[in-house]
Structure 1
Amino acid sequence: MTKRFSYQTSGYQAMYGLHQYVQDCGLDHGLLELIRLRISQINGCAYCINMHAPLAQQNGISIVKIHLVAAWKEANVFSERELAALAWAEAVTALRDAEVPESVYRLAKVQFSENELSDLTLAVAEMNAWNRLMIASRTPPEIRQEESNDAIY
């Protein structure tokens, strides 16, 4: 796949400004990385999956959770707060029938304050924007040479 364009244009600073806000908003960085990974899986963004899996681990998310996040509904390793965040992230990413289901909102409302839910929604929107930028530009994942030899078979 050939890269189409560089994502690092003048608009990049605006995107990075949103990223900095989300990073500093007070939500747990591990939780943010967990939803970033899941959103990137949904959208099929190889660049972002490759970036956020190790960042999740660096921010305290276990390798088991990283491996199971694609099947989080069936896994029994996530906290109630993580489950609410993952459900919210999926609903906001998909926007089926142009809405977030009331049941998902009620679950999130129990785990997050109004400000936190607003910030979580911004985090979801930010990750979706990054995914779309990377996918549209066909930016390949950055894989270090030592990682390319790590076959798991």
Structure 2
Amino acid sequence: MSKRFNYQTTGYKAMYGLHQYVQGCGLDHGLLELLRLRISQINGCAYCINMHVPLAQQNGISDLKIHLVAAWKEANVFSERELVALAWAEAVTTLKDAEVSEAVYRLAQAQFSEHELSDLTLAVAEINAWNRLMIASRTPPEFK
């Protein structure tokens, strides 16, 4: 598989601006990396999975959580806040029946302030956009 196009255009700078906002919004960076990893798994983005595993580790996410994030619903290693964030991230990513269920919203509302929930949703949208950019451009993972 070869790379189709260079994604680092002027639009890339705008997307990176969103990334900088999300990084500075006050949400825990470990939580953000867990979400980025899970969403990248859902979307099948090897580039982003490869990028977010070490970033999750650097931000305090245990190897156990990293290994179990694909099965987070069955694993009992995640905090309540992490579980709710993962549920929200999956619901916003997959948009089953073109909506986020009221049940998932109520859970998220109980764990996150309105501002945090808005920022969490921006974080989900951000990684979904990166996934689509990397997959469409066929950008291969960078192994070190």
TM-score (ref. length: structure 2): 0.99
Identity %, equivalent residues: 86
Does structure 1 residue 15 correspond to structure 2 residue 31? no
Deviations along 1:26-48, one digit per CA (max 9) or x if unpaired, are: 00000000000000000000000
* Aligned position for 1:40: 40
Q: State the AA in 1 paired with 2:108.
A: A
TM-aligned CA deviation for residue 7 of structure 1:
1.1
* Aligned position for 1:122: 122
* Aligned position for 1:24: 24
Classify the secondary structure of the residue corresponding to 1:34.
Answer: helix
Classify the secondary structure of the residue corresponding to 1:115.
Answer: helix
Higher relative contact order (CA 8 A, sep 6+): 2
* Aligned position for 1:100: 100
TM-score (ref. length: structure 1): 0.94
Aligned CA RMSD, in angstroms, stands at 0.4
Pairs aligned (count): 144
* Aligned position for 1:59: 59
Q: State the AA in 2 paired with 1:101.
A: S
Using the alignment, how far apart are the partners of 2:53 and 2:105 within structure 1?
Answer: 26
Classify the secondary structure of the residue corresponding to 2:108.
Answer: helix
- Which protein has the larger Cα radius of gyration, Structure 1 or Structure 2? 1
Using the alignment, how far apart are the partners of 1:38 and 1:6 within structure 2?
Answer: 25
